[in-house]
Structure 1
Amino acid sequence: MLRLSALYRYPLKSGKADTLQHIGLDKLGLQGDRRWMLVDEASGRFLTQRAVAKMSQLSALCNPAGGLTLSSPGYATLDVALPDSAAELRGITIWRDTLRVPDAGDAAARWASDFIGKPTRLVHMPLERARATGAGFGKDSDQVGFADGYPLLLIGQASLDDLSARIGRPMPMLRFRPNLVIEGAEAFAEDGWKRLRIGDIEFRLVKPCSRCILTTIDPQTGERSADREPFATLETYRKTENGAMFGQNLVNDGIGELAVGMPVTVLE
């Protein structure tokens, strides 16, 4: 039987994962997932672990007040309030998208600038300012927050086990930053799925996920693998003309609740 074996949320794009037992879904995927982002103050360009590996050590967790709590070893903890309707809108760029979103204020900017080492702003993505998902996949009405292209990422546990066996050592799932982990299927079974149901919610699998050098960063230490693993092995047997694929991007077609242990049904 297929089951949902793990749930992960990343409140801040490229920040540490929040491991969950249950979570609600809204139109942008897991509630609170990648709704916050750091940007270069001068250009508005988004910042991630691809360029700033130490972001893997940045904990940014949703707090009970609806804001974000920032912390990292050697830095004071800071509670950041959710920007209100009067917040300054900042022009930002994420991949090919340029938009205006609420800025989280000067205190958050000072903390982020100190951590990153250059002038940096923290911004928030409210539901009403969401971006369209990647063109050519899914529906025109599909939306996403600050995730790269789609609201959710799914990986099969057996797929990771297969990769780890080929590398010769276990790879942590969090190197691949999924939202949903499914167990009970064969390795890479998810490549052939088109629609799923988990609990009462249906999901569409819209596009394989092309992996990058970010997978070589150890989420525990922030250090890059000297041997370029797991990316090096992925390229030997999962490479396509669009990149080395691992995991599936998906969109939820409803809102509701997810919990670890829920059965998963392949609809198509």
Structure 2
Amino acid sequence: MPQLTAITRFPVKGFGPDRLERVELAAGQTLPLDRAWAIENGPGPFDPAHPAHVKKKHFLMLAGQRELAQVQTRCDPAGHSFTTHWPDGETLTTALNDTASHAPLFARLEALLGDQVRGALRFVQIPGRSLTDIPHPHVSLINAASLRDLKARTGQTIEPIRFRGNLLIDGLEPWAEFDWLGRDVMIGHARLRGQSRIRRCIVTSINPATAQCDIDLPAALMAHYGHADCGIYMSVEAGGDVAVGDRVEPPGLSRP
């Protein structure tokens, strides 16, 4: 029986994951605290007085600044503080909603990224929304069997975290998730609907342990499958509690 094997959020866009055992999903929302903050890379169009979705190029992001993978991170459960662990052993804890505490983190980022920093850094957020790559709320889902199939074809070790998905499931056939578009799926006590396939960019080529580009995964997907898609975006149609180990009920599967 298919089941949910991991839940992951990325509280600050471009930085590392928080791994969760359970989460309460709400209808029409993203995973709580997923991409709740971003760090603006120099002057940009984001207006905190009228916050709205802007393109990811205006923020620090792993696709543009792969050195960010060197920084291990953790956000507290309520989203008040963001802790970073640096390669030299230093640990910094930043109060996300207290601008006076941000300077030490920004100084470390400027030293790490050099001339990739285009100007003054600042945390931004849109209350009640996520700073994801697409404007509408979604939860991203990855099928572990699809990754195993890709691994078998490439001969490369491919960690699911490269794809920065929220929900990792197992127990399906490879690529079966593509058949869920426009259809409802039960995961735990929540009902989700497949919305679109996720077209992959160069960020998946970055090894999360070394921060090096060690395999061109978009090219590998294209070579082996004729597309660069992996995973799907899903909308939460009916909220509910979701936990690691929960049953996943694909479309057409009846409850016993």
Q: Indicate the TM-score class for this superposition, using the shorter chain for normalisation.
A: 0.7 to 0.9
Q: What is the match of residue 183 of structure 1? A: 170
Q: Which of the two has greater strand per residue? A: 1
When the two structures are aligned, how many residues end up with a matched partner? Answer: 231
Q: What is the match of residue 230 of structure 2? A: 246
Paired residues for 1:219-238 under 5 Å:
219-225=208-214, 228-238=215-225
Paired residues for 1:25-40 under 5 Å:
25-26=25-26, 27-40=28-41
What do residues 226-253 of structure 1 show as CA deviations (whole Å, max 9, x unaligned)? xx4333220113344xxx1111011212
Q: What is the match of residue 83 of structure 1? A: 97
Paired residues for 1:61-210 under 5 Å:
61-63=74-76, 66-74=80-88, 76-83=90-97, 105-117=102-114, 118=117, 119-128=119-128, 130=129, 145-149=130-134, 150-193=137-180, 194-210=183-199
Counterpart amino acid of 1:46? Answer: F
- Classify the secondary structure of the residue corresponding to 1:252: strand
**Does the C-alpha gap of structure 1 residues 105 and 170 become closer, same or farther in structure 2, counting only changes over 3 Å?**
closer
C-alpha contact (below 8 Å) 1:196/1:203 kept by paired residues? yes
**Does the C-alpha gap of structure 1 residues 113 and 257 become closer, same or farther in structure 2, counting only changes over 3 Å?**
farther
Paired residues for 1:209-224 under 5 Å:
209-224=198-213
- Classify the secondary structure of the residue corresponding to 2:140: strand
Q: Distance in 2 between matches of 1:252 and 1:28?
A: 7
TM-score normalised to structure 1 length: 0.77
Q: CA deviation at 1:21?
A: 1.8
Counterpart amino acid of 2:245? Answer: G
Q: CA deviation at 1:76?
A: 3.0
| RMSD, matched Cα | 2.4
Q: Distance in 1 between matches of 2:185 and 2:71?
A: 33
Q: Distance in 1 between matches of 2:66 and 2:209?
A: 12
Q: CA deviation at 1:7?
A: 1.4
Q: Distance in 1 between matches of 2:108 and 2:206?
A: 23
Paired residues for 1:35-50 under 5 Å:
35-43=36-44, 45-50=58-63
Q: Distance in 1 between matches of 2:206 and 2:120?
A: 22
Q: What is the match of residue 263 of structure 1? A: 247
Identity of aligned residues (%): 29
Structure 1, unpaired ranges of 5+:
88-102, 131-144
C-alpha contact (below 8 Å) 2:202/2:217 kept by paired residues? no
Q: CA deviation at 1:126?
A: 4.5
- Classify the secondary structure of the residue corresponding to 1:127: coil
Q: Distance in 2 between matches of 1:187 and 1:232?
A: 19
Q: Distance in 1 between matches of 2:186 and 2:158?
A: 28
Counterpart amino acid of 2:156? Answer: R
- Classify the secondary structure of the residue corresponding to 1:30: coil
* Deviation larger for 253-262 or 201-210: 253-262
Which one scores higher on RCO, CA 8 angstroms, separation ≥ 6? 2
Q: Distance in 1 between matches of 2:43 and 2:132?
A: 22
C-alpha contact (below 8 Å) 2:21/2:244 kept by paired residues? yes
What do residues 60-116 of structure 1 show as CA deviations (whole Å, max 9, x unaligned)? 3212562211222126322222327xx7xxxxxxxxxxxxxxx97444433433333
Q: Distance in 2 between matches of 1:120 and 1:191?
A: 41
Q: What is the match of residue 17 of structure 1? A: 17
- The ranges of structure 1 where at least 4 consecutive aligned residues each deviate by more than 6 angstroms after the TM superposition are none
Q: Distance in 1 between matches of 2:120 and 2:232?
A: 31
Q: CA deviation at 1:177?
A: 1.2
Counterpart amino acid of 1:53? Answer: R
**Does the C-alpha gap of structure 1 residues 257 and 121 become closer, same or farther in structure 2, counting only changes over 3 Å?**
farther
Structure 2, unpaired ranges of 5+:
46-57
Q: Distance in 2 between matches of 1:123 and 1:219?
A: 23
C-alpha contact (below 8 Å) 1:156/1:187 kept by paired residues? yes
TM-score normalised to structure 2 length: 0.80
